[in-house]
Amino acid sequence: MEPSPPVALDKPHVSPQSLSPLVPHWSTVRRVRRETHDTWTIWLERPEACGDHRPGQFNMLYVPGIGEVPISICSATREAKTLIGHTIRRVGAVTAALTAVRRGDVLGLRGPYGSSWPVQEIEGADVVVIAGGLGLAPLRPAIVELLKRRNRYGALALLYGARTPADLLYPAELGRWRSLIDFQLLVTVDHADRSWHGHVGVVTTLVPGISFNPASTAAFICGPEIMMRFAVRALMERGVAAERIYISMERNLQCAVGFCGHCQLGPKFICADGPVFRYDEIAPYFVVREL
C-alpha cells in the first residue's frame, strides 16, 4: 500500500544551534531516479544547517508519521552544488515510504554523521575498492574523489559484485569508468542471465585479476559482512597489511549520535566511531559472528 505523502511543514523558527541533535531539518526532494527493481536514488536539498559531507558518511532520513533510518550518502561533496544524494533499497516500512517519494515532497534530514574513507590520507598509494551490492553507494563518493585526483594515486581498481545483472547499480557510470584507460574495473554477478557475458561468481574471486603493489596498497571495502570478511582475507593473502584496509559497517544504527547504544560493537559505536573503520582496529570484534 502506498504511504501517505509527507506533510509539508514550515522550517522551525529557532536557531539550528538550539535544536537537539535528534531533531531533523526539513528538506525538499528535488530528483528521484529508479536504479533497479527495488532501489531508488533520491536527491534532496541540502539544509543550510547541514555542513558538507565527506565520502563514506551517512544521514538519517525521516518520513513524517512513519519513521527514520540511516542512509549512506552516495553523492560526492558538492557534486550537485546544493543537492545531496541517497541510494535506497526498499526493505521495510520506512524505506518503502522513502522510495515512494515524489519531487516536491518534504523529508526530515539529520547529518552528516560518522567517519569517512581516508581519500586524502592515502595519496601516493595504489587503491583497491571492493563493493558488494548496495555497498557501491557509500563507496561512490570515494571513487569520484579518487578519479578527480587521479594523478595523486598509483594503480586504481574497482571490483564490484551484485546478485544478478539487473541488480547492478549505476550502469551508465560503470560504463564511463570502464572506458578509462588508467582505471581497472571488474564486475561480476552471482547469477547470470542470457544477456550477461561477463564474470560469474562472488566478488572476491576478482582479486587475483587486478594489478597492484601490496606493499603500497590501501583498500576500501563495503558490502554484506560475510563478503567483507572474505575480501579482507583475499587482500591479506596477497600481502596487503591489515592497517591499510578500511571497511564500512552498518549495524543497528538508530540515533546516530552514540546515545542509544544499539550499534555498539565491542567497545566501538558504529555511528560515532564508524561507519568506516581501519580493519586492524575492528578485527577482534568483526570476526565474531552475531556479536
How confident is the model at residue 12, as a pLDDT? 41
Number of other CB atoms surrounding residue 25 within 10 Å: 20
- State the span(s) of the chain assigned CATH 2.40.30.10: 16-112
- CA atoms of 288 and 73, how far apart (whole Å): 28
How confident is the model at residue 116, as a pLDDT? 96
The CATH architecture one would assign to domain 16-112 is Beta Barrel (2.40)
Going by C-beta distance under 8 Å and a sequence separation of 6 or more, which residues neighbour residue 63?
3, 6, 94, 97, 98, 107, 108
Q: What is the CATH code for 126-286?
A: 3.40.50.80
- Burial class from Cβ neighbours inside 10 Å (0-12, 13-18, 19+) for residue 27 reads buried
| Cα 182-83-69 angle, rounded to 5 deg | 100
- CA atoms of 174 and 187, how far apart (whole Å): 9
How confident is the model at residue 290, as a pLDDT? 58
Task: Kindly report whether the peptide bond that precedes residue 6 is cis, defined as omega within 30 degrees of 0.
Answer: no
How confident is the model at residue 285, as a pLDDT? 85
- CA atoms of 97 and 67, how far apart (whole Å): 9
Q: Mean pLDDT for each consecutive 10-residue tract of the chain (291 residues)? A: 44 47 91 97 91 92 95 88 93 96 96 95 97 97 96 97 96 95 96 92 95 96 95 97 95 82 86 92 80 60
